[in-house]
């Protein structure tokens, strides 16, 4: 895998871990509870992100059929534990696909606005970051817990020196700004 792909994956892994921490310790009922007029809830966001992983990596990058449910309406028979397991499995499959290809410039198997694997990874980073922000607000409205009160979520800062030892560790806000700029350039 190229260094660029490793760095993009480290950023995505940090966001994924952060999202999972946002739903940690919740009951199934609280995970389905909506605190906003749109009806958005944490269980629905998690189900949607599972689909996003599959759509971008399994379908667009690898050329297979996407699995999962795009909808944020979660069937009552599906537990939060099951949703977390499905999300972890989708992320693992995504990582395997990316590692097998290893090069950000490889064209996608499916025709999309994104041209290559780099753009696909950036699209998932952007979608995961957006929904993680939604999750922060919803979680705070559910039980008052804020991101500052939860343990640090990002694996990014811990992993970055191993991925890119010659670069200094930068604050996440600075890195997020750089990723957002890259999304604009690629998009």
The enclosing domain of 103 has a CATH number of 1.20.120.450
168 in Cβ contact with 153 (< 8 Å) = no
Residues in Cβ contact with 35 at an 8 Å cutoff, skipping those fewer than 6 apart: 137, 138, 141, 142
Per the model's pLDDT, the better-predicted residue between 164 and 131 turns out to be: 131
Token code pair at residue 72: 């944020």
61 in Cβ contact with 98 (< 8 Å) = yes
Q: Render the burial of 28-38: b for 16+ CB within 10 Å, e for the rest.
A: bebbbbbeeee
- Average pLDDT, rounded, for the chain: 83
pLDDT at 89 over 90: yes
Token code pair at residue 71: 């909808």
pLDDT at 176 over 80: no
Q: Is the pTM of this model over 0.75?
A: yes
Range 1-9 average pLDDT: 95
Per the model's pLDDT, the better-predicted residue between 159 and 13 turns out to be: 13
> What is the reported pLDDT for 172?
46
- The distance of Cα 62 from the centroid of its chain, to the nearest Å, equals 18
What's the total number of domains in the chain?
1
> What is the reported pLDDT for 69?
85
Range 61-87 average pLDDT: 93
15 in Cβ contact with 132 (< 8 Å) = yes
> What is the reported pLDDT for 157?
40
Q: Domain limits at 140?
A: 3-186
């Amino acid at each position: 895998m190229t260094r660029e792909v490793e760095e993009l994956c480290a950023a995505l892994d940090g966001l994924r871990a952060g999202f999972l921490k946002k739903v940690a310790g919740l009951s199934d009922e609280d995970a389905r509870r909506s605190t906003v007029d749109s009806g958005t809830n944490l269980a629905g966001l998690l189900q949607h992100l599972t689909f996003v992983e599959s759509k971008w990596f399994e379908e667009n990058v690898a050329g297979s059929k996407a699995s999962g449910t795009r909808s944020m309406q979660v069937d009552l028979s599906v537990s939060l534990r099951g949703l977390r397991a499905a999300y972890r499995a989708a992320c693992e499959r995504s990582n395997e696909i990316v590692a097998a290809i290893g090069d950000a410039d490889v064209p996608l198997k499916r025709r999309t606005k994104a041209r290559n694997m780099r753009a696909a990874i950036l699209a998932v980073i952007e979608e995961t970051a957006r929904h993680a922000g939604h999750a922060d607000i919803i979680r705070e409205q559910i039980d008052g817990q804020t991101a500052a009160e939860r343990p640090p979520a990002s694996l990014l800062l811990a992993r970055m020196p191993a991925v890119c030892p010659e670069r200094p560790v930068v604050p996440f806000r600075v890195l997020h700004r750089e990723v957002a700029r890259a999304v604009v350039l690629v998009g």
